[in-house]
Amino acid sequence: KERKKERKKKERKKERKKERKKERKKERKRKREKER
């Protein structure tokens, strides 16, 4: 039981990282548009 919980936690962390990456990409794009 405990192990399953840990696994879920890790999965969540991974998802979060992915989301963060996406956000970062968006930010970069926005900044580029601004500079232009």
What pLDDT, in 10s, does the model give residues 1-36? 678 888 899 999 999 999 999 999 999 999 888 877
Residue bearing tokens 């890790």? 10
Tell me how far apart the alpha carbons of residues 18 and 1 are, in angstroms, rounded to a whole number: 26
Q: Cα–chain-centroid distance for residue 33?
A: 22
Q: Distance of CA 25 to CAs 7, 17, 19, 29, Å?
A: 28, 13, 10, 6
HSE-CB at 32 with a 13 A cutoff on CA atoms is: 6
pTM (2 decimals)?
0.50
pLDDT at 35: 77
Tell me how far apart the alpha carbons of residues 19 and 13 are, in angstroms, rounded to a whole number: 10
